Amino acid sequence: MSRVLLIEDDPAVRRGMEVALRHRGHTVTSAPTGEEGLALLRTRRPDVVVLDLMLPGMRGLDVCRRIRDRDQVPIIIVTARGDDVDVVVGLEAGADDYVVKPVRAGVLEARIRAVLRRTDPGAAGRARPVPSTYGDLVVDRAAMVVTYRGEPVPLAPSELRLLLALSASPGRVLSRQQLLEQVWEHSYHGDVRLVDACVKRLRGKLGGSGGGPAPGPGQVSGSGSGPVARQGSASGSGPGPSSASGSGAGASGRSGNSTAHGGSSGCIETVRGFGYRFRAV
């Protein structure tokens, strides 16, 4: 099974999570502080990091950013509250998924399995071994590698799988709910923040500004000038994932409710009331 690095300061919670994960076959290394966790990251090379946001000393958010600066290992954050601020800020810091305390062992196990599947090249679809080129952007689905102007782009597992899902069908609109099911393997509506935060990070890494406050489920704001940094001013009507997923197969790629600005490669557009689409330029 996988190697898990658990960073959790509460001894009782840490012990309970260790026992539950080991019972399910994982190898667990734990640390009570962010500093110790970062040191273990270098020596143990885990497959996934489970990170509590409320840590003494170095905050969990800072630990998440430090990890993401140097490594693309999957990160699952643990928060005591499921509120927008904690979750969205954690996701924008680079986390791939989250769980809320008290953590249920079955939920954590499902999240770990799902996030590890995103790192498996075999899960990307072997039917398209030839790299796809969108101007300066090249997506190699077989190797799970993305390059821009010949330089590799380091993407976290969720960012990579999101780009793969969107670019597989340029022009097709995918609702947030569809993306949750394809990328995160979530079947309920409460996690649309995962999609919006991941799109924001992806745009930033591929040339977007990534600035501004975190958007709501139906509102993504900002602009950029790079290959995947395009979004419309999506606000007002129809923000929720339930309305976004009503068509099942995605809306037509010709909706007038989105905006895009120039670019030499592909771009991710926000389609108001529906979701996102990748447009090959």
- For domain 2-119, the CATH superfamily is Response regulator (3.40.50.2300)
Over the stretch 8-18, which tens digit does the pLDDT of each residue have? 999 999 999 99
Q: pTM of whole model > 0.85?
A: no
- The arithmetic mean of pLDDT across residues 241-264, rounded, is 37
The label of the residue with tokens 């996690």 reads: 191
| Sequence spans of domains, the chain | 2-119, 132-208
190: burial class by Cβ within 10 Å (0-12, 13-18, 19+)? exposed
* In the block, residue with structure tokens 């170095």: 58
* CA 41/CA 48 separation, integer angstroms: 10
Region 192-212: what's the mean pLDDT? 76
Q: What is the pLDDT of residue 5?
A: 98
CA distance 259 to 94: 26
Q: What is the pLDDT of residues 99-110, one digit of tens each?
A: 998 999 999 999
Within this chain, domains 2-119 and 132-208 share the same CATH topology: no
pLDDT for res 189:
57
Model confidence pLDDT, tens digit, residues 77-126: 998 866 668 888 899 999 999 999 899 999 999 999 989 987 765 544 44
Fold of the domain built from segment(s) 132-208: Arc Repressor Mutant, subunit A (1.10.10)
pLDDT of 260 above 70: no
Mean pLDDT for 244-249 is 36
Are 193 and 217 in contact by the 8 Å Cβ rule? The answer is yes
How far is 103 from 110, CA to CA, in rounded Å?
12
Where are the alpha helices (H) located in 24-83, listed in sequence order? 34-44, 60-70
